[in-house]
Structure 1
């Protein structure tokens, strides 16, 4: 609270009654008086800016021109430069804000469907576009190795371009808004 009073006094933000109370407090309290003097000396140093005078510059003269009717107009080049700088800043912020570590893993998907003519997989990692799986051997297994990012992914198998099923070997699943059941896998970053 004491620093607040001192700051108000230095910045000349006290009314006359508050100034009277402040002076009475200084005379009654020696440590408060010394702290006030120290802070005023510090403020004096800060205001002196170590002998350096910073010249003021009217930048409106550089950015605009005065028409005969007395109105100021912004120079087109200044406007274009400002617009380009703002666009560059916006681009830089959007690029760095969306930057993520792009670790990509491969995941092998396998399904046993001996009667199937074709098996496709569609999921969040394929943007829900069906990708044809490869038939392996003669025992009815279908497989594919896909690139996936560390995340939670949902997917389904499409049998003969007609039947949509979840992966029977994956424990987690959910029903989507179309009535199909999607399997859920979680790929963790290593």
Structure 2
């Protein structure tokens, strides 16, 4: 994504300051090609806005096999679970925490050279969620997320992992790569 595409994307996603927006509008009024490119990307956004799908299926995580259950281990686990439940209800339960809203967050990336794009993050236990092509090289998926901070990455053609080029917040992962960071519902 070149600087102009990033600037257009930031303008569309309302990520620019008022001063930056004013400069952007001045620039597209001067440069007809830039104006045409901006209008094309806005058309793509309108197309994508009408195509937001239902939540993708949550990947199934299969339990590991091999452990033998004994009456003592079942009783120990039951006692631990009951203790934790009581402690949680007594010390942690508040009406606000019980009613934490879940909003849908739309992830969008522009990679026209990709044949398949997926999203993986802390919100999906790093399981891949397929993204849909929506035209002009854009891919999207809408995911329900509660308030909080999440890390994520895009997976191109099943093997290339990249951080979100439109997200300034990054974090180095345990494998020498880079993940993007997003905060949902911040009161800051």
Please report the TM-score for the alignment, with normalisation by the length of structure 1.
0.50
**Residue 92 of structure 1 aligns with which residue?**
86
In structure 1, runs of 5+ residues without a counterpart are 1-83
Secondary structure at the aligned position of 1:184 is classed as strand
Deviation at 1:188, TM superposition (A): 1.4
Q: 1:161 aligns with which of 158, 161, 164?
A: 158
Q: Distance in 2 between matches of 1:132 and 1:108?
A: 13
For 1:76, the equivalent position in structure 2 comes to none
Kindly report the root-mean-square deviation, in angstroms, between the aligned alpha carbons of the 2 structures. Answer: 2.7
Q: 1:57 — aligned with what?
A: none
The answer to whether residue 101 in structure 2 is matched with residue 103 in structure 1 is: yes
Q: Which secondary structure does the structure 1 equivalent of 2:87 belong to?
A: helix
Aligned to 2:33: none
Please state whether the residue corresponding to 2:171 is helix, strand or coil: strand
Go from structure 1 to structure 2 and tell me whether the alpha carbon gap of 1:181 and 1:93 turns closer, same or farther (over 3 Å shift): same
Q: State the shift of 1:149 in Å.
A: 1.2
TM-superposed deviation, 1:87: 8.3
Q: CA deviation at 1:90?
A: 5.5
If you compute each CA radius of gyration, which structure gives the higher value, 1 or 2?
1
**Are 1:147 and 2:144 counterparts?**
yes
Match among 169, 177, 183 for residue 180 of structure 2: 183
Q: Which sections of structure 2, spanning at least 5 residues, go unmatched?
A: 1-77
Q: Distance in 2 between matches of 1:131 and 1:154?
A: 14
Q: Distance in 2 between matches of 1:103 and 1:135?
A: 28
Q: Does 2:117 align with 1:123? A: no
Bigger RCO (CA 8 Å, 6+ sep): 2
Structure 1 residue 175: Cα displacement:
1.0
Aligned equivalents of 1:90, 1:174: Cα separation in 2: 32
Cα distance change on mapping 1:88 and 1:159 into 2, 3 Å:
closer
CA distance in 1, matches of 2:180, 2:133: 21
Within 2, Cα distance between the matches of 1:86 and 1:157? 38
* Structure 1 residue ranges, 4+ long, deviating more than 4 angstroms after superposition: 84-90, 95-99
1:170 corresponds, among 159, 167, 170, to 167
